[in-house]
């Protein structure tokens, strides 16, 4: 099991982790041939198309599942693990969006029955590990968090980014955006 490194990450370490993500199959999905990197690239490409000027949201889409590499098998906390790793490099908003993409799934299945029908088999399975539907109190609390609407948008693109035949730009095309957001 890989743990979140104790020393402060930097842009080079994040890029190296993303490169490693190309050899990690997307966990809990029956989609053959889709790596964590491929999934992140698709998600980021969807967000770039929908929100061309929101670089932080795009970067969060690219990075949202890095927690699966840092701590494999921890479905319930992979968002938090990823957020702790990327936060020092990309800031509060990117970290929050990485963390909140998990509760955003719980939120959406609670408030939008059509969303539940769109979930992949893997997402349905992991939903139980992640807390299943939210209570009314959890819905109110989640709606009050910073970046709530962006987290929901990221989650919708996360679910849409599971096509192993999709052709999207590779990691090299994201390096300037990663540098820009990292400051």
Which domains does the chain possess? Answer: 42-163 (1.10.3210.10)
Task: Please state the rounded mean pLDDT for residues 118-136.
Answer: 74
- At 176 the pLDDT is 97
Higher pLDDT, 22 or 163: 163
Higher pLDDT, 14 or 77: 14
Residue 119 CA to residue 137 CA, distance in Å, equals: 24
Token reading at 73: 């098998």
Q: Which residue has the tokens 């966990």?
A: 27
Task: Please state the rounded mean pLDDT for residues 86-106.
Answer: 95
Task: Please state the rounded mean pLDDT for residues 54-80.
Answer: 91
**Of 35, 39, 33, 40, whose CA–CA distance to 22 is shortest?**
35
- At 1 the pLDDT is 41
pLDDT of 177 strictly over 60: yes
pLDDT of 24 strictly over 90: no
Strand partners, 25: 35
pLDDT of 100 strictly over 90: yes
Residue 80 phi, psi (nearest 5): -65, -45
- At 68 the pLDDT is 87
pTM above 0.75, yes or no: yes
- At 163 the pLDDT is 86
């Amino acid at each position: 099991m890989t743990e979140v490194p104790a020393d402060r990450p930097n842009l080079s370490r994040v890029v190296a982790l993303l490169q490693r993500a190309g050899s990690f199959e997307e966990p809990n999905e029956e989609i053959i041939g889709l790596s964590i990197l491929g999934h992140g690239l698709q998600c980021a490409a969807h967000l770039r198309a929908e929100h061309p000027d929101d670089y932080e949201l795009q970067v969060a889409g690219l990075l949202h599942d890095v927690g699966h590499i840092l701590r494999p098998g921890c479905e319930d906390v992979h968002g938090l693990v990823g957020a702790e790793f990327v936060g020092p490099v990309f800031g509060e908003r990117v970290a929050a969006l990485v963390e909140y993409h998990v509760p955003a799934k719980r939120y959406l299945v609670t408030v939008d029955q059509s969303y539940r029908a769109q979930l992949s088999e893997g997402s349905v399975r992991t939903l139980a590990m992640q807390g299943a539907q939210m209570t009314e109190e959890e819905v109110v609390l989640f709606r009050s968090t910073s970046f709530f609407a962006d987290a929901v948008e990221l989650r919708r693109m996360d679910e849409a980014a599971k096509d192993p035949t999709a052709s999207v730009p590779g990691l090299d095309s994201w390096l300037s955006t990663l540098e820009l957001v990292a400051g």
